[in-house]
Chain A
Amino acid sequence: MRAPAPHGRPPAAFSPRRIGAMVLRHLYMYRHSWPRVLELTYWPLVQMVLWGFITNFFVSHSTWVAQAAGVLISAVLLWDVLYRANLGLSVSFIEEMWARNLAQIFITPLRPYEMVLSLIVMSFIRTALSVGPAALLAWPFYDVWVFAMGLPLLAFFVNLLVLGWAVGLFVSGLLVRFGLGVESLCWLGIFLLAPVSGVYYPISALPGWLQPVSWSLPSAYVFEGMRAVLFEGVFDVGLFAWAVGLNGLYLVAGTAFFLVMFRQARVHGLLLQQGE
């Protein structure tokens, strides 16, 4: 038998270069699609403007909001981190399905877990491009400088990013197994978490029977932690530790789910036949 192809190397089990190739594929796509780039920044900016006016109103009509004027805008921006992290991952995956490119990709030496890592990188890039401009503009528009939270902001950001990836992997798993018929989950699935994450109100405002559900989500700890910083000026390490621990579990579960669904797609012959 001949040696490996003269233009190639024996495949490594893990290759940053293959991950980089998949990231490059998406960056090329954005270079040629200004509507996609516009879409990245459009909604976070609209959200920020909308909630900025709501905040202005509540500052004079709500003693709770008046105590920390930035609480609503900070919540909006952090919720958008979660939403965009999920979207950044699942939409990057669905792009391959829209392009009918999955079969081409998976006959290369690319491993499924390398695909997962490339989606995570793309999610990070997309989230930073989406939320960054809105966070910066909140300062001149509404005098809310979310970066004043300092390191706690970074802790919240990373936790929400990771939860968004976990949800995005779960949605991508459903996409590869059930096809484009479930594509709306990319945009809507994450909203299942919104009512129980305590984005705009404390978890204690929820009915007692629903609160355990909230406390099983990393996002609940993040938003409670955000309010602790804004209202009391305290970074609650306990809340942070719970968020990190739960996120670890969710990310492992999301990755495992995606890989199991990917295998199921190979059993059912779905990689060559994408679509509704």
Chain B
Amino acid sequence: MSGPGTETVVKVTNLIKCFGDVRAVDGISFSVAAGSTTALLGGNGAGKTTTISILLGLLLPTAGEVAIFGGDMIAHRHRMLPRMNFSSPYVDLPRRLLVRENLTVYGHLYGLDHVKDRIAALARDLEIEPFLDKPTGTLSAGQKTRVTLAKALLNTPELLLLDEPTASLDPDTGDWVRGYLEDYQRRTGATLLLASHNMAEVERMCTQVFMLRTGVIVDQGSPADLVSRYGRSTLEEVFLDIARRRQPAAEERAREAGR
């Protein structure tokens, strides 16, 4: 495996996104190292999806800079998009099209050289061969997740953004998806950036976590580092502390000592 490198794949600087009077993202800055797996965590409305949408070029920020692979994503997103992809259970593929047809269309959109071969290889890897010729709309949640993942891996992305990649999956399928993503990263050295509410998933997969609350990064670090600083035993407890605006244990002790 190629571990997290020193190269920066994503660099976000003073990013702001306002919807009317609401600041959905309020001046956040962060960077993501090549080959790492990073999570954006936060409650509903914390700004995770807004941030990911901006990184994908689907949403224009009010202010700030986004550099991906060293290029300006806001001004020149089409230069970077062939090297990235996105998977989310909340974004659909056309339901009437067969799985194979959907993957063929996206294969051509990404300009792949050998679309049929690539689909065949992904179908083997992701175990979607039995339903390649079924309408996408007839698949179960687990099958649909694997197909969405196949679409997201068609172009062998160097940067893969994932929005709750295992939401609504049973534990077995969720574990299989996590394992597959880890294996993909080991094989390709890809960088993964995910938004998730599954803390066990984040603890298992991520080397870096950014905690968001009301559009602001309120804390960051590795899962182990955060658990340690908050004096908790799981990342879920840390998440609850942050959501309920409790301070890290060390800071609380310092404040107590200062009284």
Residues of A participating in the B interface, judged by any CB pair closer than 8 Å: 1-2, 4-11, 13, 15, 17-18, 20-22, 24-25, 28-29, 32-33, 95, 99-101, 103-111, 263, 266-269, 271-272
Contacts and interface: CB of A to CB of B under 8 A. Distances in A.
A28 B105 CA distance: 9
Given A11-B78, A24-B108, A100-B91, A107 B57 contact: yes
Across the A-B interface, the 5 shortest Cβ-Cβ residue pairs: A21-B108, A108-B109, A99-B94, A100-B92, A28-B101
Contact of B84 (A25, A107, A110, A266): A107
A1 B71 CA distance: 11
B110 A8 contact: yes
A204 B111 CA distance: 54
Given A104-B151, A107-B86, A15 B111 contact: yes
Contacts of A5: 82-83, 155-158
B215 to A, nearest CB: 14
Contact of A268 (B19, B34, B110): B19
Which of B50, B79, B83 gathers most chain A CB within 10 Å?
B83
A1 B92 CA distance: 31
A109 B81 contact: yes
Given A6-B156, A9-B113, A269-B19, A18 B108 contact: yes
A18 B82 CA distance: 12
B132 interface: no
Interface string B50-88: 100100111110000000011000000011011111100
Given A9-B113, A109-B81, A272-B59, 6 more contacts: A5-B82, A5-B156, A8-B110, A21-B105, A109-B111, A266-B57
Give the dominant DSSP class at A's interface: loop
Interface in B169-205: 189
B189 to A, nearest CB: 8
Interface in B97-150: 97-98, 101, 104-106, 108-114, 118, 135
B188 to A, nearest CB: 9
B95 interface: yes
B91 A103 contact: yes
B57 A2 contact: no
A25 B85 CA distance: 19
Contacts of A105: 109
A167 B154 CA distance: 36
B69 A109 contact: no
Given A107-B86, A111-B78, A17 B56 contact: no
A24 B105 contact: yes
B151 A25 contact: no
Contacts of B157: 5
B246 interface: no
B53 A272 contact: yes
A17 B111 contact: yes
Given A266-B59, A271-B58, A104 B113 contact: no
Contact of A107 (B60, B81, B97, B98): B81
Contacts of A266: 57-60
Nearest to A28: B101
Contacts of A10: 82
A111 B79 CA distance: 11
A99 B108 contact: no
